[in-house]
Structure 1
Amino acid sequence: MAGTTTAERGESRRESSGPPPAGRFRPPRLRTIIISVAGLLLATGAALWLLYGSHWLRVERVSVSGTRVLTPAEVREAAGVPLGDPLVSVDTGAIAERLGRELPRIRTVDVERSWPDGIGLKVTERTPVLVVRKGAEFVEVDDEGVRYATVPRAPKGVPVLRLEPARSGPAAASVRRFGEDRLVREAVRVARRIPKPVARVTGEVAVRSYDDIALELTDGRTVTWGSGELGEDKARVLTALMKAAPDARHFDVSVPTAPASSAS
């Protein structure tokens, strides 16, 4: 069998030295790589200068929203936002911690960057469910049992907590076992479950022990509530009982399956 001719071998060499098949990776030229890297470095440098070195993206204003008792000025002062600093470098977490420490009335706060030059503080204040007498003043207590502010007058519609811990008998043992703070938390637990129509006319929540809590209404009626357990059931039964016995002066829902009312 005859071998390949000289012409055929030459043609084969030309084909093998031709351009690579379509789809095969072509490495970029060194010049292209250098230009790309230089462009990336310039863009990064410009971005860093804009964020940290320029005067365009610096803190110039602090806005406050959500306040009810506090004033925006009080919140701004306690926040201590560093005016003039680059906006990107402001430690929002530290601002939130500082506000919680300096202003216990604040329950939560969202600290947000407002580009190009602002910081926004969205405040949620605590709401009292009870107040505790402290001399001539009152300490507000929220629904988590946190005592967070002292005020000269009790807020309208907020019951006064009257602690009357028993000194002897089983009730006294309850007080020693749970402590005063636990009694306050139990009173808060009760206050959260009082039906709204009743809560509006509740003047005091009297606590003798963990399971001996009573409501004293502003019109002279009283409610024996018991402990904070089964609060939803007690609220529902109390509402029905007051409708069924509108002239009653005392209601007992300490055992919601066996409620009672009386004229005295």
Structure 2
Amino acid sequence: MSTQAARRRPGAANPGSRPAARRRPPRRPTRAELHRRQVVRRRLGAILVMLVVTVVVCTVWFTPVLGVREVQVRGTVNLTADEVRAAAAVESGTPLVRVDVDAVAARVRELPRVAGVVVERAVPGTVRLTVDEREPVGVIMAPDGAHLVDVTGKDYATVAQPPAGLPELRVAGDAVVAAVEVLTGIPEGLRADVLSVTADSPSDVRLALSAGREARWGSSADTPRKAAVLQVLMTRKGTVFDVSSPELPTVS
């Protein structure tokens, strides 16, 4: 027997080793199993979304994270921002989405000088109030001061001295609206010529004009037509212009 080890043939098995076991290919999941996995994933996703939504809703509605931190006031002229904030009564820290904008607007409109207001929410924590103040078109003089009257006929404020350029309203209580309707219904150029408005009743409105002239208006009905007729009449000589019946105007 040769002392040199015999060469093994390529591919010859080792006498002391066992034949290798065959590996089985991985089993493919069935359609039913794939469907179940998909259903599970969808349910888990839905639960996660619900949890996130719940957390967000609770944070927004019940915590001060998105609470009111500032109340901005815009558009004021005679009112102060603090007066508007006090009327609005928006509590600091109130969740922004729980601020009742209609209720806030109603409270601000209770201020006599306020004609209207727009209430807005601005993330993360601002309530914005844009105020529209009333503007006077006439003044009623009284022992307690000058009462300012706006375009609706509302007596909304009393001041010590009347603003310059406003006509005085010398009218009965039930004739204020009619007088204001006439005053605001005439052209701007003619309105600037009005010194005062007198009315003992809603059907007896009279305008005192510059240079001692007077326009007898009657009721506030047909004001644009009466104004057009008056402008023609004022080209004639006279001091009293009656347009209460615009079909039959007179000058005297």
What's the TM-score bracket when you normalise by the shorter of the two chains? 0.7 to 0.9
Alignment partner, residue 208 of structure 1 = 200
Alignment partner, residue 164 of structure 2 = 156
Alignment of 1:52 onto 2:61 = yes
Alignment partner, residue 128 of structure 1 = 136
What is the TM-score with the length of structure 1 in the denominator?
0.75
* Rounded Cα–Cα distance in structure 2 between residues aligned with 1:53 and 1:162: 56
* Rounded Cα–Cα distance in structure 1 between residues aligned with 2:210 and 2:139: 16
Output one character per residue of 1:45-95: Cα deviation in whole Å (capped at 9) or x when no partner: 231243135554221111111222222222122212211221111111111
Alignment of 1:90 onto 2:76 = no
* Rounded Cα–Cα distance in structure 2 between residues aligned with 1:127 and 1:28: 70
Which of residues 63, 82, 105 is equivalent to 2:72? Answer: 63
Alignment of 1:240 onto 2:240 = no
* Rounded Cα–Cα distance in structure 1 between residues aligned with 2:228 and 2:78: 33
- Letter of the 2:225 counterpart: D
How many residue pairs end up in the alignment?
221
Matched residues, percent identical?
Answer: 37
* Rounded Cα–Cα distance in structure 2 between residues aligned with 1:29 and 1:204: 84
* Rounded Cα–Cα distance in structure 2 between residues aligned with 1:28 and 1:153: 83
Deviation at 1:30, TM superposition (A): 4.5
Deviation at 1:138, TM superposition (A): 2.2
* Rounded Cα–Cα distance in structure 2 between residues aligned with 1:210 and 1:109: 31
Output one character per residue of 1:104-148: Cα deviation in whole Å (capped at 9) or x when no partner: 211111100011110111111122222222214122222222222
Alignment partner, residue 251 of structure 2 = 261
Output one character per residue of 1:202-239: Cα deviation in whole Å (capped at 9) or x when no partner: 22111123322111124422111111111010111112
CA contact (8 A) 1:201 1:219 kept: no
- Secondary structure (helix, strand or coil) at the match of 1:133 reads strand
Deviation at 1:197, TM superposition (A): 1.7
CA contact (8 A) 1:157 1:201 kept: no
CA contact (8 A) 1:95 1:111 kept: yes
- Secondary structure (helix, strand or coil) at the match of 1:192 reads helix
Alignment partner, residue 221 of structure 2 = 229
> Which stretch shows the higher mean deviation, 31-40 or 120-129?
31-40
Let me know the Cα RMSD of the aligned residues: 2.4
Alignment partner, residue 153 of structure 2 = 145
- Secondary structure (helix, strand or coil) at the match of 2:185 reads coil
CA contact (8 A) 2:75 2:131 kept: yes
The structure having more radius of gyration, on CA atoms, is 2
Structure 1 moving runs of 4+ over 4 Å: 26-30
What is the TM-score with the length of structure 2 in the denominator?
0.78
* Rounded Cα–Cα distance in structure 2 between residues aligned with 1:85 and 1:227: 52
- Secondary structure (helix, strand or coil) at the match of 2:170 reads strand
CA contact (8 A) 1:59 1:117 kept: yes
